Amino acid sequence: MGRSTRGGLRGVRMVGAAMSKFGKMDRSMREEAAQTGLAALNRSGLDPAVVEEILVANAFGLVDHQGHLGPLIATSLGLEGAATATVESACASGGVALQLAYTSVASGHTDATLVVGVEKVSQVDSKTATTYFTYGSDVPFEAGCGATFPALYATLATAYLHKYGATEEQLAHVAVKNHKNALANPNAHLHKAISVEQVLKSPYVAWPLKFYDCCPFSDGAAAVLLVSEALAKAWGVGGVEVLGSGRGGSAAQLSTRASLVEIPGTRQAAAQAFSQAGLRPKDVDFAEVHDCFTIAEVLAIEDLGLVKKGKGAEAAVDGLTSLSGDLPVNPSGGLKAKGHPVGATGVGQAVEVFEQLDGRAGARQVKGAEVGLSHNIGATGGSCAVHVFRRV
Amino acid sequence: MGRSTRGGLRGVRMVGAAMSKFGKMDRSMREEAAQTGLAALNRSGLDPAVVEEILVANAFGLVDHQGHLGPLIATSLGLEGAATATVESACASGGVALQLAYTSVASGHTDATLVVGVEKVSQVDSKTATTYFTYGSDVPFEAGCGATFPALYATLATAYLHKYGATEEQLAHVAVKNHKNALANPNAHLHKAISVEQVLKSPYVAWPLKFYDCCPFSDGAAAVLLVSEALAKAWGVGGVEVLGSGRGGSAAQLSTRASLVEIPGTRQAAAQAFSQAGLRPKDVDFAEVHDCFTIAEVLAIEDLGLVKKGKGAEAAVDGLTSLSGDLPVNPSGGLKAKGHPVGATGVGQAVEVFEQLDGRAGARQVKGAEVGLSHNIGATGGSCAVHVFRRV
């Protein structure tokens, strides 16, 4: 990745962040996206006119008959001169848009890029929403054969439990932890404490994954403002440093992968982000990772290098990844309980990192957090994005 | 646009380019995209393994139940580790993806990014295809009120004819020229010479625009490989320099614009591209511009600064923009006759620039071409991208 030129990149700061309450969106997608973008701009304290580019992360707008969201959102914000684009990488749309925005600012192409993720699926029934989600798979070879995402992740879970002797009970602890964290997040979709027993007794969706191993369908919007370090300093604002911004990919179909107990794209994106940041996994104080299913959090923390391979399922059990543990994972509640409004998900992770590193996460504050990581994947990891942030 | 740091950007070359025959696609979208990407890689002479990122320009894939195209195309190319993203900006998807790819390479984020544009609409009837296109407008305020794109461009044409005293006959000359150019382009959708009289006698679609003022619905794929100058030199390949890469935006709805005889986003994108290139409009030897309707070419060459405001309609009449004129415009045949496969359109323009600057455009070769420009817009200019290229 052209590392020799890294030195030529400018420092990038995240100086504003905001999200809607995830769950059910009453406003139209464009209204919610614009209001959330405005809230992020207001939070930054910068004049909105500094924004030169707006990248919109959205997966399903076109299915609901509205594409080309960028100019609509820009116009709503009074920024109709801004260059825009919609970025779609299935459930990684937000993280991928964030990475492209980082490159825009780091390269000097813009001084300020606003990233707005937005999704609304509640206007359709849950069967239709499930169908929308399958468009992120290799449709003729996966969804078309009945392999929806619960089935695909169940395949990964089966391989994992078999190889490492992990248990359904261990996976249940991931769900319990993330639901508990979400209780302290006013913007989370689900505010419901659950027990390991409840998870284990919930109906199977695709063995070994049960109802409570799966994240909900959510509506929502999230926005972050990235600016050059120079612009942040000129405006006298601190914010959060974006130290590393990486992306990676994996073979589209699970059936062609060499291993079912790792996501190659996560490893690649993490290697890139850590190398760029000049940090190692052990430097991370907390992480927001892609836990669309409980097994996904387990694989994520292993592939990110935060725990050893095969040790991820124990992490929620022994408290390592709890809010008071040595390595809090998904303090926001994660996709599992904060919610998963596809295009907004990866941007929402960055919002949580911002709140944590800004010390404003309230009852879910990770104590002494200096370095945070976000990890967002599309489908079963066909697209992956990893970001490393540090408090200024 | 952070111009002070431009000096930190690396030189970028387009070293490979290919397109399918525009018109009707028999293969699936993923197959055509992969085959076209492979042809671009083969043309470059570089090992495909150099590709680190694939940006896919596509507008309507999701409507046809397949999103997340990047990993599918990457996997088909044996590049499953590549980071991917789908970029949608309505009819500017290709040009906008090209701009994002430029920034990736120029910044050093990647050494090589493949841009693949693809669209397939022939599987649906033309009424449905028309509906797909309307998703690029501000749906509730434009398409939802009956203002499809022919109507919106007719509004622009009406304002233009009124303000500058231009005529329908002048617009007809644009169509005649571009159909003539396409006769020499084996990959063009339409191979049919037309006369001014035929255009004028064709039925009105939306006054003053007639059937022959409008581009066709096309399927198609196009791909270009962008690499760092250093990588191109290491492989001993020449290619084409990407000197300037700009984007801009305009208010989403026509109804809110201050003027109906210009596209602000085109002017902004052009200013950015020319500034970056260190060139002026008079340095351009030929241009591929966004002529979805004849009036669009007229506005484009004016807003790009290639002719004076109000003089664009005369340009095709007096031969300035013909293949043998001083400033050939749309030597490929343009959207009007080469075709308009939405996601592929902007990438296809870059393919034509590559062929022209590489001196391989055959019977439609622009003599002595050193500097070429491409111009791609989404909807009525909500998104705009302009690129300036030079022969190495």
pLDDT digits (tens, 9 = 90+) for A67-91: 999 999 999 999 999 999 999 999 9
User: For position A64, what pLDDT does the model report?
Assistant: 85
The residue with tokens 């760029």 is A276
Residues of chain A contacting residue B2, judged by C-beta atoms under 8 Å apart: 10, 105, 108-111, 228
Whether the CB-CB separation of B343 and B119 falls below 8 Å is answered with yes
User: Chain A window 240-259: which residues touch B at a Cβ cutoff of 8 Å?
Assistant: 247-253, 256
Contact A179/A192 with Cβ under 8 angstroms?
Answer: yes
Average pLDDT over residues A245-260: 97
Contact A135 B72 (CB under 8 A): no
Residue A274 lies in a domain: yes
Q: Report the range of poorest mean pLDDT among A176-185, A204-213, B125-134, B383-392.
A: B125-134
Residue B196 lies in a domain: no
DSSP B256-321: G-S-SS--HHHHHHHHHHHHHHT--GGG-SEEE---SBHHHHHHHHHHTTSS-TT-HHHHTTTTTT
Residues of chain A with pLDDT > 90: what percent?
96
Which residue of chain B has the CA closest to A96?
Answer: B85
Q: How many CB atoms lie within 10 A of CB A195?
A: 13
Amino acid identity at A328? P
Taking alpha carbons only, the member of B337, B384, B345 closest to residue B364 is B337
Q: Count of CB contacts below 8 A, A vs B?
A: 241
Partnered with residue A115 across adjacent β-strands are A55, A224
Chain Cα centroid distance, residue A370: 19
State CA B313 to chain mean position distance.
20
| B360 interface with A at CB cutoff 8 Å | no
Q: Which residues contact A49 (CB under 8 A, 6 or more apart)?
A: A79
Assigned token pair, B113: 């990014």
Does residue A254 come out as left (phi exceeding 0), alpha (psi in the -120 to 50 range) or beta? Answer: alpha
SS3 B23: strand
- The string of DSSP letters for A282-307 reads GG-SEEE---SBHHHHHHHHHHTTSS
Q: Is B100 on the interface with A (CB under 8 A)?
A: yes
Q: Could you give the residue ranges of the DSSP H alpha helices within chain B?
A: 29-44, 69-76, 93-107, 126-134, 149-164, 168-182, 196-201, 229-234, 264-277, 294-303, 312-315, 334-337, 342-357
- Which H/E stretch holds residue B117? strand B112-119
Q: Cβ contact (<8 Å) for B67 and A136?
A: yes
Tokens (6 digits) for B57 = 């320009």
Helices (H), chain A: 29-44, 69-76, 93-107, 126-134, 149-164, 168-182, 196-201, 229-234, 264-277, 294-303, 312-315, 334-337, 342-357
Q: Minimal CA–CA distance to B1: which of B99, B87, B98, B111?
A: B99
Span A333-387, pLDDT tens digits: 999 999 999 999 999 999 999 999 999 999 999 999 999 999 999 999 999 999 9
Q: What is the pLDDT of residue A337?
A: 98
In a domain, A64, yes or no: yes
- Residue range A49-67: average pLDDT? 95
d(CA A150, CA A347): 23
Rounded CA gap, A316 and A285, in Å? 16
Q: What is the ipTM of this complex?
A: 0.97
Residues 6+ apart with CB under 8 A from A140: none
The pLDDT of residue A7 is 53
Query: Which residue, among A129, A147, A107, has the nearest Cα to A10 in the 3D structure?
Result: A107
Amino acid at A101: A
Are B115 and B55 in contact by the 8 Å Cβ rule? The answer is yes
Burial of B165 (0-12, 13-18, 19+ CB in 10 A): exposed
CATH of the domain at B333: 3.40.47.10
Q: For chain B, which ranges sit under pLDDT 70? A: 1-7
Closest approach of chain A CAs to the CA of B203, in angstroms?
Answer: 29
Peptide bond into A203 cis (omega under 30): no
As for how many domains chain A has, the answer is 1
Cα–Cα distance, B29 to B34 (Å, whole number): 8
Q: Which residues of A286-310 are buried (b: 16+ CB within 10 A; e: fewer)?
A: bbbbbbbbbbbbbbbbbbbbbbeee
Measured at the CA of A244, the angle between CA A309 and CA A69, to 5 degrees, comes to 105
The residues pairing with A371 across neighbouring beta strands, listed in sequence order, are A390
Pairing of strands B220-228, B112-119: antiparallel
Q: Given CB atoms, is A268 within the 8 Å cutoff of chain B? A: yes
Query: Is residue A262's pLDDT more than 90?
Result: yes
Closest chain B residue by Cα to residue A141: B72
pLDDT in tens, A141-155: 999 999 999 999 999
Name A110's Cβ contacts closer than 8 Å, sequence gap at least 6.
A52, A53, A83, A104, B1, B2
Task: Tell me the C-alpha distance between B190 and B199, whole Å.
Answer: 15
B276: contact with A, CB 8 A cutoff: no
A85 touches chain B (CB under 8 A): yes
What's the pLDDT at B8?
74
pLDDT greater than 60 at residue A63: yes
Comparison of pLDDT for B8 and A182, the residue scoring more: A182
Q: How many CB atoms lie within 10 A of CB B315?
A: 26
Distance CA A276, CA B203 (A): 59
Q: By residue range, what is the domain housing residue B233?
A: 3-124+216-391
Distance of CA B61 to the CA centre of its chain: 19
Tens of pLDDT along A287-333? 999 999 999 999 999 999 999 999 999 999 999 999 999 999 999 99
Choosing from B173, B179, B340, B387, which is the catalytic residue? B340
Report CA-CA distances (Å) from A195 to A176, A294, B361: 6, 14, 69
Active site residue B340: yes
Per-residue pLDDT at A8: 75
pLDDT tens for residues A359-370? 999 999 999 999
Reading the block at residue B88, the tokens are 């949608």
Q: How confident is the model at residue A4 (pLDDT cuts 50, 70, 90)?
A: very low
Which two three-digit tokens encode residue B46?
Answer: 């570089």
Q: Is the pLDDT of residue A1 over 90?
A: no
Identify whether B155 is part of a domain. no
Here the tokens at position A43 are 């939070």
Q: Is A229 on the interface with B (CB under 8 A)?
A: no
CA-based nearest residue in chain A for residue B83:
A248
Strand partners, B391: B240
**Two structure tokens written together for A362:** 């309230």
In a domain, B170, yes or no: no
DSSP-derived 3-state class of residue B66 = coil
CA distance B389 to B392: 9
pLDDT (mean) for A178-188: 98
Asked if the structure places residue B166 within a domain, the reply is no
Q: Chain B residues with CB inside 8 Å of A139's CB?
A: 65-66
Chain A interface includes B10 (CB < 8 A)? yes
What is the distance between the alpha carbons of residues B315 and B322, in angstroms, rounded to a whole number?
A: 9
Shortest Cα–Cα distance, B111 to chain A (Å) = 6
Q: If you count them, how many residues does chain A have? A: 392
Mean pLDDT of A96-103: 98
